[in-house]
Structure 1
Amino acid sequence: MRSDREKVPGGFSKADADKAETMEAALQPQSGMMSPMVAPGCQVYWPSPYEVCGAIKDKYNSLGGPNSFLLWPTSNELVNPDGFGRRNTFQNGPIYWSASSGAHPVVNHFFACWQRNGWEAGVLGYPTTDEIVNPDPVAPIGRRQVFQGGTIYWKLNEAYYVTGSIRDKWGQTGWEQGFLGYPMSDEIKLPDGQGRMNRFEHGVIYWAPWTGAHPVSGGILDRWAASGYERGSYGYPIADQTSAGGIEVRQNFEFAVLGWPTNPSAAIVDDGDINPTVDDGSPTSPADFAADANVGKDTSRAPELVGNVVKRSDPCVNQSCVDPEDPNLASSDPPTYALPSECFTIPNDGRLRGNRKQACSLSTFAMTVRRKDPVTQAVEVVGKLPFNLRTGVLTSHRSGKIIQEYRFEFGAPYQEIGVPKLNYQLSYEGSADQSRYSVSGFTSGSTVSPNTTMAITVTWNEQLLDDGAVDYRTTELRFDFSNIAPFIPSPYEYVTIDGDLRCDKTMKNRQGYVQGCVLPKFVPGLDYRGNSDGGRFPQAVGHIQSATGSGLPGASLSRPLHRESDVGARNNNRLTACPRTASISGPRQVSGRSCDEYPFASTKEGAASGGPGRTFNPNCHVPDLGTSTASTGYSVCMIDAGQNSLAGSYLGRFYGFGRVIGGDAFYVAATGGALPPPP
């Protein structure tokens, strides 16, 4: 036997080799008859005792048979589970055949990718080509193999498939030689059950039935990732990236437009952008993006590849999603004095007037001076010490410090009352601990002169809260007069701000939670009037005007809106007003526009709270909604995507500046806007 003369290759025994030799001999014609040991059209390759037949045999032989990368057969021809296809296995991989695809080997990483996606019964189906060397520009390091349902690409020991619209879009970008590079994941089904995505070396391509396939890359991908990808506030991409004036690239998403500078490395001036995930508007130079560019790319929420599964983190677990309408703490505090000029023209009634950041009051006192006769012990009034007390308070939305100013304004005494001295005591949250505050101005026990003003400024130090905490604070100034002749000690008078101060630690910038304080008794107004900031997004203002004019709340203190801080509720509001189902979102689409809703998604009166939807066609281009004058419900309008994004960012700054937390009321002052023109 041949096995007695030659060494049997590894993987086969002498018995295997002898059987193979017998089968080979049976293939030789004897008396014009074929041996029943081997089927017609088949071949045996010593020392492997297995038949390779038909088209699979032809492919195997064309590759070099046992001298090819496949080496020797390890099975006879097998029927595939579909009952139609066939396969043979070899030492280094199989050859698969079907009538529609022909016979092709699938080996190594290509086989692993095909296997994890269900072999021929999966999305890829049967192979239709052998491996093909890619035209890489420097060296041929990549390969690809085409299947009935997609293509597997391989580079440096990683192989992933692309298919359908994502493959077509990738092809439009230049395949692996384009800006995206090679695929870095198989196609992934997204959590909403409708969308799909592939990761690539330098970006991603996302697809949904109502948006089509669009690549996202670079700084825009970083911003979108930080917002929660398609489940965040921006939704799916609805267009490819475009250049804007040569200084930035922009990309339209369902609910906003994101931008990124063409040359972020040129950005060397910090623009104070505390929230790098919110688009602050169209930049005039790369410096507008400085804070974002200096931070670098945030990949903390990029999809993580674990084995062959993309693990997607949920940005809304245990924290607030980053959202254009999230509180933005970038705005500066007012000047650091507690009594601005308007505090010198307020009525003298002791009421606190102002806004959430700064307020003041004016009260009149007249300290009565009494004398006790040393003989008769009779008490008589001998004079009065009249004065005004002007009180101001200044809070910060970016600090837990509180500044108060107290101005004692003395006039002429009613009668001669001697030489009075003004004493005071301070307390914060009932504690007189002097480490809690610092004082500048006159000292306690200072002498009072007629027709003078005596003032102190108190800085109440930040009392740290736990992350997410809300607390109400009380400050108090107690004062009296001493050394009055003739003398009877005066009782203490006091001025307190009790429960009118609220400090919270619920808002975040990129360094973490930031504490701040406000005067919550004042209901803030979101100013979208005329040429104020609302002039930058007139279509958003016009939609608000039309919506409130149709009966929806928010335009007055009597029917305010209330901020919704729960991420799930906000997303429900968005998806109610701007659903992503193709049958609704598709007919609404207008190039350059995105879906705007009112009341805002970040309010408790948002679309999911109940009531009918409405719109203002033809301007708004929302064919699935009609008109309504109901006092509840919501309104939808497709407006300029850039203006929509700016309006959302402005709302976020309003929330941050006024420390508008969950449940807080506010109203909207909107004039001077206009709905978009009919598309």
Structure 2
Amino acid sequence: MNVLPARWLARVAVGLLMAAGTVFAVSPVTAAAAPASVAPPPGCTTSGVPDGMVGCLRLGVSAPASVRTTAAPAAVPAGCGNGNWVNMSRFVMCKSGGGLYQVIVAQGGSVVGEIYFNYSSMVTLQARDLRWTQSFEYSPVRAWGVLGTPTLWSVPDCMFYCSIVGGNPPTGSALSVLSGSATFTSPRLPGQYWGSRSDWGFWFVNPATVNQVTTTLWTNYPGHRCDDALPGGTAGCANQDFVPTLDVPESRYPMYASHIRHAIRTTNLPSQLTRTTNSAVIDANRNTSCPTGPSYPRPAGYTCDEYPFASTAQGAAANPAGFTFNFNTNRLGRLLCQVPWLTEHRSTTNRGHSVCMIPTAENSLGGSDLQSFFLDNRVIDRDNFNVRA
């Protein structure tokens, strides 16, 4: 959506008027000697321009290491994607890259000035709110030659099912580090989930060039999921392409964690599960793994625990052949599950779910932590998540 809102177009017009009559020279702060030979960018043409200079802007270009200046570039977050968006977490996505602005003489097509720059953009979502932020940062790396007075302009925009709440899009000299951010929100759809997408565009304005305003380039953020489909939670947004991990430490619940760890590591049970919010499926899973009655006793102070969890599509109803653990060895440690109605696990066991009696307090805490994990990471129906124990 290469559309510039009226308020930014007005600012461009003011900038052009204020820049009229200025001396067109590169800033001495970031000035550097011209390289030996420079070629105009592909796709940038001076055809049809009889005289003067043309400004061209493109991405995917980095300053050669041999000609970079010592000017400190803007900080890029660790793990931020170089040239593509990277899912840094369930709620943070980031992209960074390099670009090049060139001033080209129409007669002959010679490049007479350049600005190499870096940029980054980060989207930060909220687990319990439909608002998110997108930031943009620009940093010149190297400049040389006849540039005029190029100014960077930028604009946040809503691309799909959102609106802008506020922000401070950066505008200023293309020879300065510039940064800003904007806040977006998405309308709530009760009980549903939907896609939302913001983006950030930027361009150069230069009265010294015939075209004055370059093409607008975009960060091309791919978007995320918002929902009001989280049982027990409020509406919010998450990065559905990032699979969150549930940590189950033995320091918090020794036997509960030991059961899950052995179920995953010593058998073929999956460590990646898929949540279900279907109450009929959850009940069927529990009734299969932990049935009640005289034939299924619970020791005093213990409750029945199953893996995969009852709240997953991989639960016992889908994989009804169960097993349990009973061992006390130096190599494996001690795990006495006290489940007499199931076969003990052996190296040849190939069954679909594991059952173990766990101290009531541990089992309750583990179940509570699982629900908190679902809420904190917006794990809704049919979402995958990893288990690490």
* TM-score bucket of the superposed structures, by smaller chain: 0.7 to 0.9
Q: Which residue of 2 aligns with 1:388?
A: 118
**Counterparts of 2:264 and 2:319, CA distance in 1:** 16
Distance change >3 Å, CA 542–CA 358, structure 1 → 2: same
Deviates more, 1:344-353 or 1:600-609: 344-353
Please report how far the alpha carbon of residue 389 of structure 1 lies from its aligned counterpart in structure 2 after TM superposition.
1.1
Once the two structures are superposed, the pairs formed by residues 66-77 of structure 1 within 5 Å of their partners are: none
Please report how far the alpha carbon of residue 457 of structure 1 lies from its aligned counterpart in structure 2 after TM superposition.
1.0
1:565 aligns with 2:277: yes
For the 8 Å contact 2:85–2:93, the answer to whether it is kept is no
Task: Select which of 136, 139, 148 maps to 1:409.
Answer: 139
**Counterparts of 1:351 and 1:624, CA distance in 2:** 51
**Counterparts of 2:191 and 2:294, CA distance in 1:** 38
Task: Select which of 604, 608, 611 maps to 2:317.
Answer: 608
Task: Select which of 183, 187, 194 maps to 1:464.
Answer: 187
Distance change >3 Å, CA 348–CA 605, structure 1 → 2: same
Amino acid at match of 1:624: W
**Cα deviation per residue 1:418-455 (whole Å; 9 max; x = unaligned)?**
11112223321348x9x63311253xxx33242x3211
For the 8 Å contact 1:474–1:496, the answer to whether it is kept is no
Distance change >3 Å, CA 414–CA 342, structure 1 → 2: closer
Task: Select which of 511, 525, 547 maps to 2:263.
Answer: 547
Q: Which residue of 2 aligns with 1:516?
A: 236
Q: Which residue of 2 aligns with 1:655?
A: 374
Largest Rg, 1 or 2: 1
**Cα deviation per residue 1:130-166 (whole Å; 9 max; x = unaligned)?**
xxxxxxxxxxxxxxxxxxxxxxxxxxxxxxxxxxxxx
Please report how far the alpha carbon of residue 621 of structure 1 lies from its aligned counterpart in structure 2 after TM superposition.
0.3
Once the two structures are superposed, the pairs formed by residues 297-308 of structure 1 within 5 Å of their partners are: none
Amino acid at match of 1:563: R
Distance change >3 Å, CA 632–CA 416, structure 1 → 2: farther
Please report how far the alpha carbon of residue 351 of structure 1 lies from its aligned counterpart in structure 2 after TM superposition.
3.6
Q: Which residue of 2 aligns with 1:397?
A: 127
SS at match of 1:582: coil
Please report how far the alpha carbon of residue 383 of structure 1 lies from its aligned counterpart in structure 2 after TM superposition.
2.4
**Counterparts of 2:356 and 2:137, CA distance in 1:** 52
Structure showing greater relative contact order (alpha-carbon pairs closer than 8 Å, 6 or more residues apart):
2
TM-score by length of 1: 0.43
For the 8 Å contact 2:304–2:356, the answer to whether it is kept is yes
Task: Select which of 248, 251, 259 maps to 1:535.
Answer: 251
Which 4+ runs in 1 deviate beyond 4 A? 344-347, 628-632
Aligned residues: 304
**Counterparts of 2:216 and 2:286, CA distance in 1:** 56
For the 8 Å contact 2:156–2:169, the answer to whether it is kept is no
Q: Which residue of 1 aligns with 2:216?
A: 492
Task: Select which of 605, 622, 640 maps to 2:339.
Answer: 622
For the 8 Å contact 1:552–1:634, the answer to whether it is kept is no
**Cα deviation per residue 1:404-427 (whole Å; 9 max; x = unaligned)?**
111111122143311111222332
**Counterparts of 2:251 and 2:187, CA distance in 1:** 39
**Counterparts of 1:470 and 1:645, CA distance in 2:** 30
For the 8 Å contact 1:417–1:484, the answer to whether it is kept is no
Q: Which residue of 2 aligns with 1:437?
A: 165
Once the two structures are superposed, the pairs formed by residues 276-295 of structure 1 within 5 Å of their partners are: none
| Structure 2: runs of 5+ lacking an equivalent | 1-74, 328-335
1:419 aligns with 2:149: yes
SS at match of 2:382: coil
**Cα deviation per residue 1:563-592 (whole Å; 9 max; x = unaligned)?**
111111011111100001322x22xx2110
For the 8 Å contact 1:552–1:599, the answer to whether it is kept is no
**Cα deviation per residue 1:604-631 (whole Å; 9 max; x = unaligned)?**
1011112520100260000111134556
**Counterparts of 2:76 and 2:368, CA distance in 1:** 30
**Counterparts of 1:536 and 1:350, CA distance in 2:** 38
**Counterparts of 1:347 and 1:608, CA distance in 2:** 41
Q: Which residue of 1 aligns with 2:22?
A: none
For the 8 Å contact 1:553–1:631, the answer to whether it is kept is no
Please report how far the alpha carbon of residue 540 of structure 1 lies from its aligned counterpart in structure 2 after TM superposition.
0.9
For the 8 Å contact 1:370–1:380, the answer to whether it is kept is yes
**Counterparts of 2:109 and 2:158, CA distance in 1:** 37
Amino acid at match of 1:367: Y
**Counterparts of 1:630 and 1:449, CA distance in 2:** 66
Once the two structures are superposed, the pairs formed by residues 179-578 of structure 1 within 5 Å of their partners are: 343-344=77-78, 346=80, 348-373=82-107, 378-430=108-160, 436-440=164-168, 442=170, 446-450=171-175, 452-461=176-185, 463-483=186-206, 485-488=208-211, 489-499=213-223, 501-509=224-232, 514-529=234-249, 535-555=251-271, 560-578=272-290
**Counterparts of 2:76 and 2:280, CA distance in 1:** 42
Q: Percent of counterpart pairs with the same letter?
A: 29
| Structure 1: runs of 5+ lacking an equivalent | 1-340, 671-679
**Counterparts of 1:426 and 1:441, CA distance in 2:** 7
1:638 aligns with 2:357: yes
**Counterparts of 1:460 and 1:569, CA distance in 2:** 37
**Counterparts of 2:350 and 2:215, CA distance in 1:** 55
Distance change >3 Å, CA 365–CA 594, structure 1 → 2: same
Please report how far the alpha carbon of residue 484 of structure 1 lies from its aligned counterpart in structure 2 after TM superposition.
5.1
What is the alpha-carbon root mean square deviation over aligned residues? 2.2
**Cα deviation per residue 1:283-314 (whole Å; 9 max; x = unaligned)?**
xxxxxxxxxxxxxxxxxxxxxxxxxxxxxxxx
**Counterparts of 2:190 and 2:350, CA distance in 1:** 37
SS at match of 2:326: coil
SS at match of 2:103: strand
Amino acid at match of 2:130: G
Amino acid at match of 2:252: R
For the 8 Å contact 1:611–1:634, the answer to whether it is kept is yes
Q: As a proportion of its length, which structure holds more helix?
A: 1
